[in-house]
Amino acid sequence: MFSSLLIANRGEIACRIIRTANRLGVRTIAVYSDVDREALHVEMADEAWHLGGAAAADSYLVVDKIIGAAKEAGADAIHPGYGFLSENADFAETCAREGIVFVGPSADAIRAMGLKGAAKSLMEKAGVPVVPGYHGSKQAGDFLKQKAYEIGYPILIKAVAGGGGKGMRLVEKAKDFDASLESAKREALSAFGNDDVLIEKFIGSPRHVEIQIFADGQGNAVHLFERDCSLQRRHQKVIEEAPAPGMTDEVRKAMGEAAVNAAKAVKYSGAGTVEFIADGSKGLKTDGFYFMEMNTRLQVEHPVTEEITGLDLVEMQLRVASGEALGISQGDLTINGHSVEARIYAEDPENGFLPSTGLLEILSFPNGSAIRIETGVKEGDTVSPFYDPMIAKLVAHGETRSEALDLLYSALDETQIAGPQTNIAFLKALCSAEGFRENRFNTGFIDANIDDLTIPPLGQRDAMAALGAIRLIERRFELREGAEMHDTPWTLTDGFQLGAVRETGIDILANGKPVSLLTEWVDGAPAIILGPEADDWPEVDAVLVDVGDAVIVLADGRQVRVSRPDYSAAGFEDDEDGAIIRSPMHGKLLDLFVATGDSVSKGKRLAIVEAMKMEHSLMASGDGVVAEILAVPGDQVGEGQRLIVINSEDD
């Protein structure tokens, strides 16, 4: 075992690797960008080295800076984590050339599996079943469109160098192909530096089942059973579990052997995942699964495999990378119980899952041994727009699938996060969704049930806003009572008014949206007049957090930030007619498709904002003429920032 390890990553995976390295007595070396100076992984490591600017392209993706830090720190090895440079063959090659151990497979193996088209061709030769499609090198748009027609819609466009849903588009009709291809290529180039794509048939009722494999440098290889990652949104995994529901011993054996054959075909060493798409319409079958890709790294969802096998995959990676033999055979491995993992993201499910940023005012997870918490942030940290928006992973392990899901639901219910919006309520809804519980789901489950999973109970948001408004009023009077004042009719807080009516209007902002409420005074204290529709509102068990001039109300995994509007603030105006196009989140203005004076119609794409590795198109909400453009491509823009002003054609 080597004595020192540099982790070329950040966030929860860096913290995860550091914990195992510490247990093994290996000195840990962290790297960080400008915005990660105070990050948890920097705090946990034995030492840390600065890389550069906030953008990954200026820090975590700069090979020379990472190699330089490793050499200056005297690192024996580099663990790439996942994402960033983890599947970069040139990086692995550079490590070897500089005499530093790369904790992962060889550069040749990464290259063989890194380009999806070439990998599928290789798998066909190795006898591994693959999805019908075009995996060649010709990239002309008309040619690819013809191939899509020959394959038959619906089809998937997939970046050959990609992963995590980046550069992937589902196309159901030929008329949408050109725009989807353009978008997929642009996103692939931004994420991976390679805009080549492949075209493949979209499998109906698809289940995403992947096999964790492990191999050493002596030719030994095993699989550590399967994970089901079918609960996805935009091709990104949301909840993962092991073993896969409905899996039989026969299918597990067939999939496992296919995955091991895939690894042996490229002389693989280390941890890897072979991903299959299965036709789930008639249950999992030995002749109903197809190779999609191989991830030549550790996966985000690896903890569920660790929970059912009792193995530490990071320790296994370090031992294999240091030259040790695997030390286990397939017959040594057994499945213990069931494990489920949920990814908590800083995003707003009720607003199209837009990324959310900001200060983590509260970050509280459940205590106890029943739940495993994987996170790379702490209370007081800021979720920035520069990296993946995952805050934490919650991992539950139980004797049965039902028990594991119950434990996960309870853990989510006990988790409190204030600041950025999160998907906790969405994850809770998934955990209790009838179709998911009863094993009636596929990769389209979330899209098919999106309203049930994201829309809050009737009146919940209003009730939360009302609680926040009352707290604002109470705070105002607490401040007033704390000051030295003479009692006058203007300083009393009993709500006195001339006449019989004792009602007062109050305007607030609830998550940035204007709301008008009516208050009344009861025994000298404020209360909200809810109105007759409030009879149907649910009871809200809320936690209120004072944050500067605002109040954050937490209830049932949701949050509402309540504040008073600042009418003097620049840019405060009524935009009910949709004439002002704002950035929906912090990010980068990637492209503009209009100029001043252009006529636009409802639904026209106006611009693209990129944040946290995802593109978001901004559309015109009505007909009009572009009056102003207030930003240019390449600008960093803030949430709510005015980008485009559109006047009606009558103006």
Domain-terminating residue out of 103, 120, 155: 103
Residue 121 belongs to a domain: no
Quick one: 501 and 434 in the same domain? no
Q: Based on the residue annotation, tell me whether 461 is a catalytic residue of this protein.
A: no
Q: Which tens digit of pLDDT belongs to each residue from 77-86?
A: 999 999 999 9
For 53-66, b/e burial (b = at least 16 CB within 10 A) is: ebbbeebbbbeebb
pLDDT of residue 641: 84
Of 144, 175, 174, give the one whose Cα is nearest residue 159.
144
pLDDT band at 500 (very low <50, low <70, confident <90, very high): very low
Answer with the residue of higher pLDDT: 116 or 211.
211
Domain-terminating residue out of 180, 201, 222: 201
pLDDT over 70 (residue 495):
no
Q: Residue 380 is part of a domain; what is its CATH number?
A: 3.30.470.20
Q: What is the CA radius of gyration of the chain?
A: 27
Q: Which tens digit of pLDDT belongs to each residue from 13-72?
A: 999 999 999 999 999 999 999 999 999 999 999 999 999 999 999 999 999 999 999 999
Quick one: 433 and 498 in the same domain? no
CA angle 58-61-63, nearest 5°? 105
Tokens of 288: 């109903």
Q: Which tens digit of pLDDT belongs to each residue from 530-570?
A: 666 666 677 888 999 999 889 999 999 999 999 988 654 43
Quick one: 472 and 521 in the same domain? yes
Percent of the chain whose predicted confidence (pLDDT) is above 90: 63
Rounded Cα–Cα distance for residues 402 and 421 (Å) = 28
pLDDT over 50 (residue 488):
no
Quick one: 366 and 422 in the same domain? yes
Residue 511 belongs to a domain: yes
pLDDT of residue 618: 86
Of 550, 551, 533, give the one whose Cα is nearest residue 542.
551
pLDDT of residue 498: 43
Going by C-beta distance under 8 Å and a sequence separation of 6 or more, which residues neighbour residue 396? 339, 340, 341, 370, 371, 372, 404, 405, 407, 408, 411
pLDDT band at 283 (very low <50, low <70, confident <90, very high): confident
Quick one: 30 and 63 in the same domain? yes
Quick one: 495 and 545 in the same domain? yes
Rounded Cα–Cα distance for residues 481 and 256 (Å) = 70
Q: Residue 532 is part of a domain; what is its CATH number?
A: 3.30.700
Residue 233 belongs to a domain: no
- Given a contact cutoff of 8 angstroms between Cβ atoms, the answer to whether 241 and 393 are in contact is no
Can you count the helices (H) and strands (E) in the chain? 17, 37
pLDDT over 90 (residue 379):
yes
- Given a contact cutoff of 8 angstroms between Cβ atoms, the answer to whether 390 and 343 are in contact is yes
Answer with the residue of higher pLDDT: 69 or 638.
69
Rounded Cα–Cα distance for residues 421 and 442 (Å) = 27
Q: What is the DSSP letter of 619?
A: E
pLDDT band at 503 (very low <50, low <70, confident <90, very high): low
- Given a contact cutoff of 8 angstroms between Cβ atoms, the answer to whether 2 and 69 are in contact is no
Angle between helix axes 89-97 and 107-114 (nearest 10 degrees) is 170
Percent of the chain whose predicted confidence (pLDDT) is above 70: 91
Rounded Cα–Cα distance for residues 75 and 77 (Å) = 6
Residue 408 belongs to a domain: yes
If DSSP codes are grouped into helix, strand and coil, which group holds residue 489? coil
Candidates 16, 169, 297, 561; catalytic one = 297
Quick one: 449 and 353 in the same domain? yes
Rounded Cα–Cα distance for residues 397 and 414 (Å) = 17
Q: Which tens digit of pLDDT belongs to each residue from 323-340?
A: 999 999 999 999 999 999
Q: Residue 605 is part of a domain; what is its CATH number?
A: 2.40.50.100
Mean pLDDT of 620-646: 86
- Number of domains within the chain: 5
- Given a contact cutoff of 8 angstroms between Cβ atoms, the answer to whether 298 and 318 are in contact is no
Quick one: 614 and 526 in the same domain? no
**Strand pairing category for 47-52 and 27-33:** parallel
pLDDT band at 198 (very low <50, low <70, confident <90, very high): very high
Rounded Cα–Cα distance for residues 418 and 364 (Å) = 9
Q: What are the percentages of helix, strand and coil residues in the chain, rounded to 5?
A: 30, 30, 40
Residue 76 belongs to a domain: yes
Quick one: 437 and 470 in the same domain? no
pLDDT of residue 96: 96
Q: Which tens digit of pLDDT belongs to each residue from 67-121?
A: 999 999 999 999 999 999 999 999 999 999 999 999 999 999 999 887 777 788 8
As a whole number, the mean pLDDT across the chain is 88
Rounded Cα–Cα distance for residues 467 and 560 (Å) = 10
Quick one: 443 and 484 in the same domain? no
Domain-terminating residue out of 185, 201, 217: 201
User: The dihedral of CA 191, 192, 193, 194: what is its sign?
Assistant: negative
pLDDT band at 485 (very low <50, low <70, confident <90, very high): very low
Q: Which domain holds residue 624?
A: 580-647
pLDDT over 70 (residue 504):
no
Q: Where does 291-382 have alpha helices with state H?
A: 302-309, 313-321
pLDDT over 60 (residue 632):
yes
Residue 144 belongs to a domain: yes
| Residue type at 250 in one-letter notation | E
Rounded Cα–Cα distance for residues 268 and 272 (Å) = 8
Q: Residue 173 is part of a domain; what is its CATH number?
A: 3.30.1490.20
Q: Residue 15 is part of a domain; what is its CATH number?
A: 3.40.50.20
Looking from the CA of 421 toward its CB, the CA atoms found within 13 Å total 22
pLDDT of residue 271: 97
Rounded Cα–Cα distance for residues 477 and 541 (Å) = 24
pLDDT over 90 (residue 164):
no
Cis upstream peptide for 154 (omega within 30°): yes
Rounded Cα–Cα distance for residues 80 and 497 (Å) = 67
pLDDT of residue 208: 95
Quick one: 142 and 161 in the same domain? yes
pTM value is 0.82
Quick one: 28 and 63 in the same domain? yes
Strand partners, 582: 642
- Given a contact cutoff of 8 angstroms between Cβ atoms, the answer to whether 521 and 502 are in contact is yes
Residue 55 belongs to a domain: yes
Rounded Cα–Cα distance for residues 488 and 347 (Å) = 48
Residue 297 belongs to a domain: no
